[in-house]
Structure 1
Amino acid sequence: MLAGCKVGPNFSRPDVAENADYSREKLPATTASAGDVAGGAAQRLVAGMDIPGQWWTLFRSPTLNALVEEALRANTDVAAAQAALRQANELVYADQASLFPSLSATASKTREKVSPVSFGSSTSGSSSIPILTVNAASLNVSYAPDVFGGVRRQIESTAAQAEYERYQLEATYLTLSSNVVNTAVNLASLRDQITATEQIIQLQSDQLDLLKSRRELGAIADTDVLTQQASLAQTRATLPPLQKQLAQTRNQLMAYLGRFPNQDQGERFDLASLHLPEQLPLSLPSAIVLQRPDVRSAEAQLHQASANIGVAVSNQLPQFSITGSLGSEVLAGTRLFSSGTGIWSLAGSITQPIFDAGALEHRKRAAVAAYDESAARYRGTVVSAFEDVANALRALQADADALNQQVIAEQAAQQSLDLAQAQFRLGAVNYLSLLTAQQTYQNAIVTRVRAQAARYSDTTALFQALGGGWWNRTDVDPATAGKPDRFGLPSLQEIMPDPAPKHAAPATSDPAVSARLEQPKQ
């Protein structure tokens, strides 16, 4: 009965408030449509729809799929998170060993020159001093029964830490994949903005040539030509910042992929090459606490804090231990384990702290306070999760409406510009009206491109806010589970490592490849 006892609280996941939801009012199930432009499709929210583990494939871009997969293989943050999880799992296996007896072997040979004085003799002279030789060998066993469950609570705490590292790894996967997708969208947006700006520059250049021709004919004043030249220069000035931002975004993508900036292989994106998913998942509010990696990480920390309370309580209770040894002790090594040379010992002990100036009690109170802190952080993480989903849903609706109106504004601006150009050629309007139409059209194009990119980014944000479907992933590196297959004995490879082969395989930074290379041969 005592062996089944575990002091301290048993952990249970906190409940989410029954009335928790993403919005006070009912949100529309379908967004607005902006027509046939890239990113203009209407999107429908499907309640309870599952999220694929590779959600980025819904954008239907083979180039994007390849980049995300490369990032998940080569990114250093992923490699570090995998190593942290592997370390945490190995520490769990190490703590589990405390539930078993420990057995050790000892062998010794002692030669000692003893002074006769120690035997009460006053004889002097080196010839009369005996030299003793003692040979001994023994097996020693020790065991600490986990009567009050302190060891099991410690294992529970370490296992919760491993669970935390597991969800930190999932959060790293989710953040990295979202960053790669968003970076690809930014690259596409910037490239389209640069293309639109170059078209506007060409339009303004053609208009400047026309004005110069009319000035030579004396139809207009020099001020109109100079104004057009200034407007063209201003438009050209907007191009270098876009090109700089494009280059910096490319460098950022290379970092996500684990490449150096000079290893850019020229992957290109434009918004037309990305498909906007038309059906989007909307998880039930009660499912968010199970789907979000950051919420599960906070839950694991709360579980660890709960287990640490049990550890602190058990430290205040009696500690039991059993030790024993069996061996042989002789003067001549050849007589070890012969008849009459056996020695043994068996001891049991109970230790109960009596006075420690309140140290153990304060440590228990500190553990309770740590639990309260973790509980508050858990509630805060859940609230932030709902906030992220709510923001993503609002952005989907608002940005769809914005793109719809921006497409209409661009079409109107283009028609206004065409009309102003025709009227200007006929002398029906002054140059100022033409210049205003040009600037309006230029702003409308750039704003429309940004509105298109926002819809792709909003979709990515929703997948990220809902957890990214990590529970459907099939590419988990098995090496992160550690090796629970032996009880601490060094392997033969560790004791007698093989010499390096003449044609050794090249070193790799891919943790999955490294794990396969490190597997022992059967």
Structure 2
Amino acid sequence: MKAVTPFRWTLLAGALALAGCSFAPSARPPAPPSPLSYAVTPTPEASAEADGVAQRFVAGVPAVPEWWRQYGSATLDAWVDEGLRHNPSLDATRHTLDAVRQQFRAQAGSTRLPSVDASTLTERQRALTLPDFGPPTSLYDVYAGELSLSYTFDLFGATRNTVKQAASQVDQQAFQLDGARRALAANIVIAAVNASSLAEQVAATERLAALAREQATLAEASYRLGAASRDDMLGAQQAASTLEASLPPLRTQAERARHALAVYLGRTPDQAPEALPLAQLHLPAAVPVSVPSELLRQRPDVRAAEAAVRGAAAEVGVATAHLFPQLSLSASLGTGAFRSADLFTGAGQIWSGGLSLTQPLFHGGALRAERKAAIARYDASLSQYRQTVLNAFQNVADSLVALQQDALALQAAQAAANAARQSDADVQARHRLGAVSYPSTLASEQRWQNARLTDIQAQAARLVDTAALYQAMGTAPEGADRGEASR
């Protein structure tokens, strides 16, 4: 039988090392769909004009990183900046990312490089001696110092895939931080808009309740004079009480919106800022709409799902490598003696060195079961990635449709509010001339205040849905290519 030469051993070791490359499945997620348009109906170039703005949807333009500045409110900008600095949940996510990064460094350092340890020993021992040979016990001291080295060769990619898996966890956490930052900014903007809208709705409803109570008072006086029926009086009182009953829940919603805004900013609820006048929040006239392929690179949730696929693929590689032999090197060098004076003499020198090869033979099916579990998790990550992509497309589609419909709703609401306001002005002028009764002016102003309520809600919906679209577009996170490091 022909002896195996060192050259052939080298070739064999190289082949084994390269074999590890094929143990992990593809780290690339499946090709995502490429829809022609986000929604069922193609996105128009602009929405209907409402409140003097026909919002343009600019296709193919990159997402805006600090999109909240498009609302033209310095106060809102300051609130978002404060929240990004002081929000505890966001701060916790930052610290979690730091922890995961340090874990990755620990994982990479402990697996890629040899381990070197130093140990010392100073010990006094009492041992039994053989019968009939000296005293029954023996007392002696042991002094030793040793350096030890150990290293496991990565023949089948277990180490390499372990490091890739740890790197993918860093990527996931980094993208989750990007997503949390953008979600917090959107929550602050939406809470601010809701607080402004609810404050104005409370004011309008309070005026409606006052008008209704005045009508009830007039109806009661007319009933006593015999100019109105009892049903008319009771109907007016019921309408006034119904409006007054709607105020406490509305005030609760307004206070809750301010409390939520305070917590987003990192404040206690008692330090909630005053609601902004709705007129100080300006609707962005142009909103970028990225193409679907670019959207997936801008969405932190999609990037995190992609990193999860890489981590799951690496986990399969690790589980597969555990089925194959493991080659380890160990060596030690030190000195030992029974007297401290002899510790560093030539007679006290100790050393060892060797290679060990371990091949798993029987583990009760545990190793194969772990590999099958890793493959199942990899398949699950592929499905989760596909679902995340579909959710991203749906998120954008819903926001685009909502903005188009918001413009139409606001257009109609403002037309109704303008007509009601002009009608009220006409009635008030006729009342001053004595052409209409005072109760008619109350009814006219009620119609206008009801129309204002619908107008306020429509304005707020358009501002909120614009924030939702900005949020859905995402943005290229800082270090967008950092995920490549774990491939």
- Structures share a fold, TM > 0.5? yes
**CA contact 2:191–2:261 (8 Å) conserved in 1:** yes
**1:481-522: CA deviation from partner (whole Å, max 9, x where unpaired):** xxxxxxxxxxxxxxxxxxxxxxxxxxxxxxxxxxxxxxxxxx
> For residue 171 of structure 2, what is the aligned residue in structure 1?
163
1:353 aligns to what? 360
- Cα pair distance change 1:82/1:15, threshold 3 Å: same
Shift of 1:426: 8.9
Q: Distance in 2 between matches of 1:392 and 1:461?
A: 6
2-side partners of 1:162 and 1:20: how far apart? Answer: 34
- 1:338 aligned residue (342, 345, 348): 345
SS at match of 2:347: coil
User: Structure 1 residue 20: deviation in Å?
Assistant: 5.4
1:39-54 paired onto structure 2 within 5 Å: 41-54=53-66
Kept in 2, the 8 Å contact 1:392–1:462? The answer is yes
What does residue 96 of structure 2 align with?
Answer: 84
Q: Which amino acid aligns with 1:111?
A: R
Pairing of 1:407-418 with structure 2 (within 5 A)? 407-418=414-425
Task: Provide the aligned length of Structure 1 versus Structure 2.
Answer: 462
Instruction: Tell me the SS of whatever aligns to 2:147.
Output: strand
Q: Which moved more, 1:153-162 or 1:405-414?
A: 405-414
1:193 counterpart residue number? 201
Alignment partner, residue 237 of structure 1: 245
Equivalent-residue separation in structure 1 for 2:164 and 2:394 (angstroms): 31
**Residues 186, 467 of structure 2: 8 Å contact kept:** yes
Aligned-partner Cα distance in 2 for 1:211–1:426: 23
Amino acid at match of 1:158: A
Q: 1:310 to 1:328 in 2, by over 3 A?
A: same
Q: Deviations over 1:98-118 (max 9, x none)?
A: 11111111211233334331x
Cα-Cα RMSD: 3.0
Equivalent position to 2:106, from 94, 108, 113: 94
Output one character per residue of 1:228-256: Cα deviation in whole Å (capped at 9) or x when no partner: 45444433333322212111111111221
Aligned to 1:357, what secondary structure does the other structure show?
coil
1:434 Cα offset (Å): 7.3
Measure how far apart 1:163 and its partner are. 1.0
Q: Does 1:106 align with 2:119?
A: yes
Residue equivalent to 1:25:
41
Matched-pair contact (CA < 8 Å) for 1:392–1:461 = yes
1:54–1:473 Cα contact (<8 Å) kept = no
Q: Name the structure 2 match of 1:221.
A: 228
User: What's the secondary structure of 1:401's corresponding residue?
Assistant: helix
Asked if residue 370 in structure 1 is aligned to residue 377 in structure 2, the reply is yes
- Please, which moves more after superposition, 394-403 or 25-34? 25-34
Offset, 1:207: 6.1
The residue type equivalent to 1:406 in the other structure is A
Q: Name 1:306's counterpart in structure 2.
A: 313
* 1:225 CA drift (Å): 6.0
Distance 1:57 1:321 in 2: 58
Does residue 1:451 correspond to 2:467, yes or no? no
1:150 maps onto 2:158 in alignment: yes
Work out whether 1:122 is the aligned partner of 2:132. yes
TM-score by length of 2: 0.86
Question: Residue 165 and residue 152 in structure 1: after superposition, are their counterparts in 2 closer, same or farther (change >3 A)?
Answer: same
Q: What secondary structure does 1:238 align onto?
A: helix
Is the contact between residue 327 and residue 337 of structure 1 (CA under 8 Å) also seen in structure 2? Answer: no
Of 386, 403, 420 in structure 1, the residue corresponding to residue 393 of structure 2 is: 386
272-281 or 11-20, which moves further after superposition?
A: 11-20
State the partner residue of 1:70.
82
In structure 2, C-alpha distance between the alignment counterparts of 1:231 and 1:369, rounded to whole Å:
62
| 1:430-509 map, 5 Å | 439-467=446-474, 469=475, 471=477
Structure 2: gaps (5+ residues): 1-13, 481-487
Partner secondary structure for residue 326 of structure 1: strand
- Residue 257 (str. 1) matches residue 249 (str. 2): no
The CA deviation at 1:436 is 6.5
The answer to whether residue 328 in structure 2 is matched with residue 321 in structure 1 is: yes
Unaligned runs of 5+ in 1: 475-522
Partner of 2:5: none
Cα distance, 1:443 vs structure 2: 2.5
Deviations 1:426-478 (A, max 9, x none): 998899987875554333111110000001001000011111x252699xxxx
The alpha-carbon distance between structure 1 residues 113 and 230, as it changes in their structure 2 partners (threshold 3 A), is closer
CA deviations over 1:166-204 (Å, ceiling 9, x no partner): 111112112111111100000110111122234444555
Instruction: Report the CA distance between 1:143 and its aligned residue.
Output: 0.7
Query: Closer, same or farther in 2 for the Cα pair 1:34/1:25, shift >3 Å?
Result: closer
* Aligned residue number for residue 484 of structure 1: none
Partner Cα separation in structure 2 for residue 361 and residue 91 of structure 1: 27
Match of residue 397 from structure 1: 404
Distance 2:479 2:139 in 1: 71
C-alpha change, 1:212 and 1:424, in structure 2 (3 Å) is: farther
How big is each residue's C-alpha offset from its partner over 1:145-175, in whole Å with a ceiling of 9 and x where there is no partner?
1111101101111111111111111121121
Cα distance between partner residues in 2 of 1:276 and 1:19: 28
Asked whether the equivalents of residues 111 and 131 of structure 1 are also in contact (C-alpha less than 8 Å), the reply is yes
User: Of the candidates 45, 61, 67, which is equivalent to residue 55 of structure 1?
Assistant: 67
Distance 1:221 1:134, change over 3 A: closer
TM-score by length of 1: 0.81
1:76-100 deviation per Cα after TM superposition (whole angstroms, max 9, x unaligned): 2112211221111111111111111
